[in-house]
Amino acid sequence: MASGLDGLWDVRMPVCGWGYRSVWMIAEAEDELTLVEQPGGSYIFCCMPWPCTACCPITHRLEKNANGTWAGKSEFQKVSLTVVDSGHVQLHRQDGSSFSLTRREDEAAALGQP
């Protein structure tokens, strides 16, 4: 059963003094999600007046668990995805960092969401 997560998502990871922002594509195939960072993702550092472009795009491959959540490994650590609602998801990494994903407005409009 499809989760309805396919499409483009705005990604933010705010951290004190710096952060990360990008656009990720989520693709679902049966019980597997693939999240792929699109070109142009950037890290923002408090000591730099401009963003630093991410040099190696991130890819996460997650499998659906029995309880309907998603989990996997990426960059040598465990990751999990929690669906907050149809327009918001959270990606949690083993190191304690958390990415906030929001469905792109153009994608949400196409699905009839506010």
Q: Could you tell me the CATH superfamily of domain 7-110? A: Quinohemoprotein amine dehydrogenase alpha subunit, domain 2 (2.40.128.120)
Could you report the per-residue pLDDT of 83-95, keeping only the tens digit for each? 898 899 999 988 8
Q: CA separation (Å) from 80 to 53, 71, 105? A: 25, 4, 24
* Confidence at residue 50, expressed as pLDDT on a 0 to 100 scale: 47
- Ordered by start, the domain boundaries in the chain are 7-110
Contacts of 50 (CB under 8 A, 6+ apart): none
Query: Token pair of 4, please?
Result: 């309805």
Residue with tokens 């958390």: 98
* Confidence at residue 34, expressed as pLDDT on a 0 to 100 scale: 93
pLDDT in tens, the chain (114 residues): 467 899 999 988 776 556 777 889 999 988 899 999 887 766 555 444 445 555 667 788 999 987 768 999 887 889 999 989 889 999 998 888 888 999 997 765 555 655
